[in-house]
Structure 1
Amino acid sequence: MFWITLIVGLAGTAVALALAGKRVLFLVKLFKSGQPAPDRVASVKRDPKGDIEGQVTEVLGQKKLLKWTVAGLAHFFVMWAFFLLITVYLEAGVALLFGLDVHIPFLQDWGPIGFVQDTIALACAAGLLTFAIIRLKNAPAKLGRKSRFDGSHTGGAWVILFMIFNVVWTMFFFRGVAEATGNLGYGKAAYFSYWVGTWFDGLSDHTLEILESVGLLLHIGVALAFLVIVVNSKHLHIFLAPLNVMFKRRPSGLGAAQPVMKPDGSNLDFEEADPDEDLFGRSKIEDFTWKGFLDFATCTECGRCQSQCPAWNTEKPLSPKMVILELRDHAFAKAPYFLATEEEQAAFTDEQKLAMQVDKPLVGEDGVIHPDVLWSCTNCGACVEQCPVDIEHIDHILDMRRYQAMIESSFPSEAGVMLKNLENKGNPWGMSEMKRLEWVEELDFEVEVVDEKLPEDVEYLFWVGCAGALEDRAKKTTKAVAELLHIAGVKFAVLGPMEACTGDPARRLGMEYLFQGMAQQNVETLNDAGVKKIVATCPHCFNTLANEYPQVGGHYEVVHHTQLLADLVDNGRLVPVTPIEENITYHDPCFLGRHNKVYKQPRDIMAKVPGVKTQEMHRCKDKGFCCGAGGARMWMEERIGKRINTERVDEALETNPDTVSTACPFCLVMLGDAINEKKSAGEAKESLEVVDVAQLLIKSIKGEATVAAAAE
């Protein structure tokens, strides 16, 4: 019996490893064909501690998955079963090679090990049951696009659940028979295996020997079949997730948009760019880096990104999950062609090329990615924040936008007006630079304007931003912040006409060369003025100045106004005294919250204002919902589905607020427009308004008390 078991086991192992090995070699070849990404390797070398932390918290600790408590716990137990039950397969390997009665000292006779093995296997079974319930409850056939599994390969997911279940039951079958034959060394410590062993009481030794061999082969066979299935399915993430976590970008928050890079990892200088050698974004699947291919293959199809996406939640065609899956499927389909030699490519028939999607455009009406999908993205970062395996959806969307914008000149027509205004006037609205100081005339104190050099007694340059200087609603925030800094005795100055747009709208649209030009001009202005510290009211300016300007030589200490004001309140330099008896709900700006992890300070400011009662929306902080303005969407029409700002205001109205507060001029405008529409339709009280937290603070400090409409 031993030799039959050995021969069958080794033969099955050889076949499975050959099949899995062939697939692995294909994947390695595919990844190696991607464009270089030397910065990813360099980041691991620079920060090995960060990599260890990522593996411990995200891979082993399942930090992101545990945000979804029930599903997260289920996955936690299934994953740790995968790790811990390797010891059972080690035991099975010894039994196969050396006999059923051979044991590894300590590993196979110490009770606590058997206890842990049985316990994690049962926890895994409970996790599988939980997954099954979640999938049945959230089935796409039942919920449609409201299901996070809509678009996923649900059939494959059920196969995987079935295979994991097979691992568990064959383990207990094999160990139960081993207990009955006296070959399980853990005794009653392996309590469930011991109990299963009682099922076989009374069987003959010969029958038990046959059953133990069958159980051993079944257990090993299931694992080998599982291996072949995994490397050919979405569950490839079992092996790839640790790699994707290792090579992820490591900012605090989502960080900067990546610059256009040359193959050697240096930033592309557009003035010296070679159209024949340099890539201006991604025009075909072969243009993606090896990290891009790794992202595509790592996707678990869990749909967490999709469930949080503001575009998807307002009936738009963009699903971050489907973008990754469509790119992955296209890469796998086309790989045999672009991995082949020129001679092999010439030998392919037209039918083969059609099957390999050789001539299918990456972006287009009949392309892999539809233009409406590409331009629906607000760059809010919800997808990246929620992804448990650190896929960088925004980077890939932005790279495809870059080629469309810079090479094809294909983008929503209304965005073209914004780009011309940036080029000609230095702001998206096309207003004169002299209008940037008009808000100062409405203050009752003087504001220092930088001539050439920042005066030595000035602590902060106040970066007003285009909206803060030119948009009437945003100017209220600008004046409030200026007054607060003046009251607190903080010396600040502004650039006035010397200030120009940071270039964020151009970059997020994909017009990278315009961004680079504007950024370099601003950095030159700031450096010549000797600027070291900047305070900004616009999260988009804040993010660009703090995270993206270092790419072009601009290194400054940048704070958002809520961070500075919260500190001034804490230090007693600003003292809110007059009660504001209002129910207030706070909207997290995406580029302040998810992109830069500033959640606490705006709430701290409101908490210090007497009388304020805060009520969180059901989607807040890292799960906050976008206003719809990011990703240059502020300057594009929203023609598909429900308006994102309307959806957000509907959520705000559920809290019955007297005021909606925020900390971003774009959010101020978008939410304000939606609130005005609700007022016109009689769906919101006339007194409802949206204000910046700085406006609430100045009201309380200056004694401009307000009375809630509900209390009147």
Structure 2
Amino acid sequence: MGPVQIIATSVAAVITVVAVVLVVRTVRRMLSVVRLGQPDPTRGDSRGLRLKTMLAETLGHTRMLRWTVVGAAHWFVMIAFIALSSLVLEAYFEVAVPDHGLPLIGGWNVYGLVTEWIGVLGFIGILVLIGIRLRNLPSNPNRRSRFAGSTMWQAYYVEYTILAVLLCGFFIRGFKAANDTLEWPVWAAPVSHALGDVLPASAAAVSLIAMVKIIVSMTWVIVIASNITMGVAWHRFLAFFNIYFKRTPGRAGSGLGALRPMMSGGKPLDFEEADPEKDQFGVAQVEQFTWKGMLDFTTCTECGRCQSQCPAWNTGKPLSPKLLILGLRDHAYAKAPYLLAGGANATEEALAKVDVLALAEKDRPLVGGVDENGVIDPDVLWSCTTCGACVEQCPVDIEHVDHIVDMRRYQVLIESNFPTEAGVMLRNLENKGNPWGAAQSTREDWTKGLDFTVPNVADGGDFEYLFWVGCAGAFEDRAKKTTRAVATLLNEAGVSFAILGQGETCTGDPARRIGNEFVFQMLAQQNVETLNEAGVKKIVATCPHCFNTLANEYGQLGGHFEVIHHTQLLAQLVAAGKLTPVQPLDGAITYHDPCYLGRHNRVFAPPREVLGAVASTNEDAGLVEMDRFAERSFCCGAGGARMWMEERIGKRINVERVEEALSTGAKTVAVSCPFCLTMLGDGVTGKKAAGAAPDDVEVVDVASVLLRSLSS
């Protein structure tokens, strides 16, 4: 071993020891912070399914590839990063003995071929990702950059480190080729041999570049060990665990649907026995999130996909799902020294050793305005529509919506701190059983004027489907048209159904999404009891919010039913020839995917099948998609109980969506949700009044579109 090799080997050994010591210390601290979270026993079931899901989302990149170019580039970079570990290991041999490689597999031609092309494609991939980041710099005059608020130096550092390590690998191989010591033939390492043709022969160069490669790699380890919240680097290791422990691993797409029940001590909270003095009501302190929540905060890679899809952020609201998670992450790690010292139970001696900044952090309210120095501003918390676009797009399965609702629960149930107009809705739910405050005796008024009798469960008799009308379908004028259309279609198709009439009350969705779990459980238990007593097995619902609650959340309270959305049932009836559209519509149709039907429950095809059958009756018409549809559909703005809260900040979400719908040139904007019907209908009316929309454009439910197209 020559002097160059001795020096290079010594430097490599020293920096490696330092890096290993630091990263072990940081990992131990990270684990201790994650363990500060509350227990969550639901994350350990279905291990085989969890493993399968994790491998599909990581190695298969199933979520990343929804953004094709970015996903493909990231996949090659990920594979290159994994391969880099073996190539960095190889550098430890090359730094000491320049003409050697990895033992056992180092001389294998297949190893050379695979790592050569992984390096080439990884190099191209990282250049693509760097280019995308530079093209979308938040410094550009565009608030909608998904990188706005991200820690840019960390992203640059990670990307250029990967680039440097890949280049070092090729130069090492190039010099080995120039020295005629490269283990593989030209066909297995064409780039390395081509580089060797223009490089001088030098054994010392191999050792020096191998040393540089190790220094670059270990410096990266030291940097991330010194920055425990550097999610853009740490997600490379944590994503596997965060995806494995996702809430619903077997569920397609985002794993949305039901909200997590309100938990205390790792168990669902029973309000009949709950004690606010002992039990946890929502989340008031960062350590009251579950350990999975703490892992979520730590894993965030700051990619901004959630931010780019968020309807609140895209319309000038202060909510960015990414910045919310980053705020919680920074607060958790800043407060951690105090919590690890014992928190409220810490001794004076233990607190004396805690950093003054951590002691200051402990007094910050989790939710509070600027004057209160809160971690999360109330306007951020209440801007959320719970549409789930953030969860749908997150490549590492962070559960933003659950965390937002958990914070809302404390604000509503303990602090009674929520938008004032929502208080009217909650009082109506408690006193009248519906958010509009309508008299229960008018729940069946929509049936008046129909030329057939709508069966009621109370009248006795057998039925296949319980038609869940919903509050909007019973009381809101536009939604009542949908209810009448669905009942007419079911009657015409010979479907056996019945309604509860005055026996039906609100499912509790708006109460639960705003954070009032008590009211939700009160309403839900009443409905479950009613449905079970009526012997209901199958339910058809026109409201996706009712559909989601009945299908996914009532099981938590003993209500297990087969629930179908009306567009699903109508699609089946059309396919079976029981309903045949024959009357053509004037002009094209565009369809708006409701969040709680589409993203939350993966119902995308049935509404389009019905509309497609209608559109097929007119050669000049057709179904045209908006720019954002299916998984990426843009919210109407009414979810998360926002239907009953004023939108005072930024552009109205429904106006943004209406403008997108109008840009398609369609005359019919079809929806399949009463909330969407109201929001988009109001938006179109406003555009017409301003002269920005044709007079013949209308917003109607899929059921109404189908009914119009049937033979008279």
TM-score range, shorter chain: over 0.9
Q: Which residue is equivalent to 2:470?
A: 465
Q: Tell me the distance in 2 between the aligned counterparts of 1:647 and 1:104.
A: 58
Q: Which residue is equivalent to 1:429?
A: 436
Q: How big is the shift at 1:702? A: 3.9
Q: Which residue is equivalent to 2:625?
A: 616
- Assess if the C-alpha contact under 8 Å between 1:309 and 1:382 holds in 2: yes
Q: Which residue is equivalent to 2:381?
A: 374
Q: How does 1:674-693 map to 2 (within 5 A)?
A: 674-693=683-702
Q: Which residue is equivalent to 2:35?
A: 32
Which digits, 9 at most, give the CA deviation of each residue in 1:358-396, with x for residues without a partner?
211100002010000000000001101111111110010
SS at match of 2:447: helix
- Assess if the C-alpha contact under 8 Å between 2:262 and 2:282 holds in 1: yes
Which digits, 9 at most, give the CA deviation of each residue in 1:408-464, with x for residues without a partner?
000000000000000000000111111110011221111111118x63x30000000
Q: Which residue is equivalent to 2:258?
A: 256
Call closer, same or farther: CA 1:322–1:465 in 2, change over 3 Å: same
Q: Which residue is equivalent to 2:242?
A: 244
Q: Which residue is equivalent to 2:284?
A: 283
Q: Which residue is equivalent to 1:220?
A: 214
Q: Tell me the distance in 2 between the aligned counterparts of 1:210 and 1:83.
A: 27
Q: How big is the shift at 1:270? A: 1.1
The gaps in structure 2 that reach 5 residues or longer are none
Q: Which moved more, 1:345-354 or 1:108-117?
A: 345-354
Alignment of 1:318 with 2:322, yes or no, is no
- Assess if the C-alpha contact under 8 Å between 1:462 and 1:534 holds in 2: yes
Q: Which residue is equivalent to 2:585?
A: 580
SS at match of 1:442: coil
- Assess if the C-alpha contact under 8 Å between 2:544 and 2:597 holds in 1: yes
SS at match of 1:141: coil
Q: How big is the shift at 1:700? A: 1.1
Q: Which residue is equivalent to 1:192?
A: 191
Q: Tell me the distance in 1 between the aligned counterparts of 2:102 and 2:304.
A: 43
Q: How big is the shift at 1:187? A: 2.9
Q: How big is the shift at 1:672? A: 0.7
Q: Which moved more, 1:624-633 or 1:120-129?
A: 120-129
SS at match of 2:467: strand
Q: Which moved more, 1:443-452 or 1:469-478?
A: 443-452
Alignment of 1:549 with 2:548, yes or no, is no
Q: How big is the shift at 1:11? A: 1.9
From 505, 509, 515, the counterpart of 1:504: 509
Q: How does 1:129-528 map to 2 (within 5 A)?
A: 129-188=127-186, 189-201=188-200, 203=201, 208-231=202-225, 232=227, 233-234=230-231, 235-250=233-248, 251-252=251-252, 253-263=255-265, 265-341=266-342, 342-343=346-347, 344-347=349-352, 351-353=356-358, 357-365=361-369, 366-451=373-458, 455=461, 457-528=462-533
Q: How big is the shift at 1:85? A: 3.0
SS at match of 1:585: strand
Q: Tell me the distance in 2 between the aligned counterparts of 1:668 and 1:91.
A: 62
Q: How big is the shift at 1:144? A: 3.5
- Assess if the C-alpha contact under 8 Å between 2:626 and 2:660 holds in 1: yes
- Assess if the C-alpha contact under 8 Å between 2:334 and 2:358 holds in 1: no
- Assess if the C-alpha contact under 8 Å between 2:470 and 2:541 holds in 1: yes
- Assess if the C-alpha contact under 8 Å between 2:297 and 2:325 holds in 1: yes
Q: How does 1:65-80 map to 2 (within 5 A)?
A: 65-80=64-79
Q: Tell me the distance in 1 between the aligned counterparts of 2:85 and 2:185.
A: 20
Q: Tell me the distance in 1 between the aligned counterparts of 2:103 and 2:316.
A: 60
Q: Tell me the distance in 2 between the aligned counterparts of 1:614 and 1:458.
A: 34
Q: How big is the shift at 1:225? A: 1.6
SS at match of 1:639: coil
Q: How big is the shift at 1:348? A: 5.4
| 2:650 maps to amino acid | G
- Assess if the C-alpha contact under 8 Å between 1:581 and 1:613 holds in 2: no
Q: How big is the shift at 1:87? A: 2.8
- Assess if the C-alpha contact under 8 Å between 1:436 and 1:470 holds in 2: yes
SS at match of 2:498: strand
Alignment of 1:18 with 2:27, yes or no, is no
SS at match of 1:36: coil
TM-score, with length taken from structure 1: 0.94
- Assess if the C-alpha contact under 8 Å between 2:337 and 2:354 holds in 1: no
| 2:709 maps to amino acid | S
Q: Which moved more, 1:689-698 or 1:87-96?
A: 87-96
Q: Tell me the distance in 1 between the aligned counterparts of 2:101 and 2:328.
A: 48
TM-score, with length taken from structure 2: 0.94
- Assess if the C-alpha contact under 8 Å between 1:174 and 1:219 holds in 2: no
Q: Which moved more, 1:168-177 or 1:554-563?
A: 168-177
Q: Which moved more, 1:265-274 or 1:379-388?
A: 265-274
From 646, 657, 664, the counterpart of 1:655: 664
Q: Tell me the distance in 1 between the aligned counterparts of 2:222 and 2:660.
A: 46
Q: Which moved more, 1:418-427 or 1:115-124?
A: 115-124
SS at match of 2:139: helix
Q: Tell me the distance in 2 between the aligned counterparts of 1:169 and 1:134.
A: 20
Alignment of 1:533 with 2:548, yes or no, is no
- Assess if the C-alpha contact under 8 Å between 2:587 and 2:668 holds in 1: yes
Q: Tell me the distance in 2 between the aligned counterparts of 1:381 and 1:681.
A: 32
Q: Tell me the distance in 1 between the aligned counterparts of 2:596 and 2:561.
A: 18
| 1:630 maps to amino acid | G
- Assess if the C-alpha contact under 8 Å between 2:337 and 2:355 holds in 1: no
- Assess if the C-alpha contact under 8 Å between 1:523 and 1:549 holds in 2: yes
SS at match of 2:246: coil
Q: Which residue is equivalent to 1:55?
A: 54
SS at match of 1:108: coil
SS at match of 1:690: strand
Q: How big is the shift at 1:102? A: 4.2
Alignment of 1:108 with 2:106, yes or no, is yes
Q: How big is the shift at 1:527? A: 0.5
Q: Tell me the distance in 2 between the aligned counterparts of 1:9 and 1:350.
A: 34
Call closer, same or farther: CA 1:353–1:293 in 2, change over 3 Å: closer
Which digits, 9 at most, give the CA deviation of each residue in 1:146-189, with x for residues without a partner?
21111111111111111111111111222222233343211322
- Assess if the C-alpha contact under 8 Å between 2:83 and 2:115 holds in 1: yes
SS at match of 1:33: coil
Which digits, 9 at most, give the CA deviation of each residue in 1:556-600, with x for residues without a partner?
000000000100110111111222232111111000000001110
Q: Which residue is equivalent to 1:706?
A: none
How many residue pairs match? The answer is: 689
Which digits, 9 at most, give the CA deviation of each residue in 1:237-261, with x for residues without a partner?
0000011110002234512000012
SS at match of 1:660: strand
Q: Which moved more, 1:694-703 or 1:282-291?
A: 694-703
Q: Tell me the distance in 1 between the aligned counterparts of 2:546 and 2:481.
A: 17
Q: Tell me the distance in 1 between the aligned counterparts of 2:141 and 2:54.
A: 35
Q: Tell me the distance in 1 between the aligned counterparts of 2:571 and 2:246.
A: 32
Q: Tell me the distance in 2 between the aligned counterparts of 1:18 and 1:110.
A: 33
Q: CA RMSD in A?
A: 1.7
Q: Tell me the distance in 2 between the aligned counterparts of 1:573 and 1:142.
A: 56
Q: Tell me the distance in 2 between the aligned counterparts of 1:483 and 1:31.
A: 55
Call closer, same or farther: CA 1:350–1:71 in 2, change over 3 Å: closer
Q: Which moved more, 1:66-75 or 1:279-288?
A: 66-75
Q: Which moved more, 1:341-350 or 1:679-688?
A: 341-350
Which digits, 9 at most, give the CA deviation of each residue in 1:101-158, with x for residues without a partner?
4455652222232122122212222122212221221111113312111111111111
Q: How big is the shift at 1:92? A: 2.5
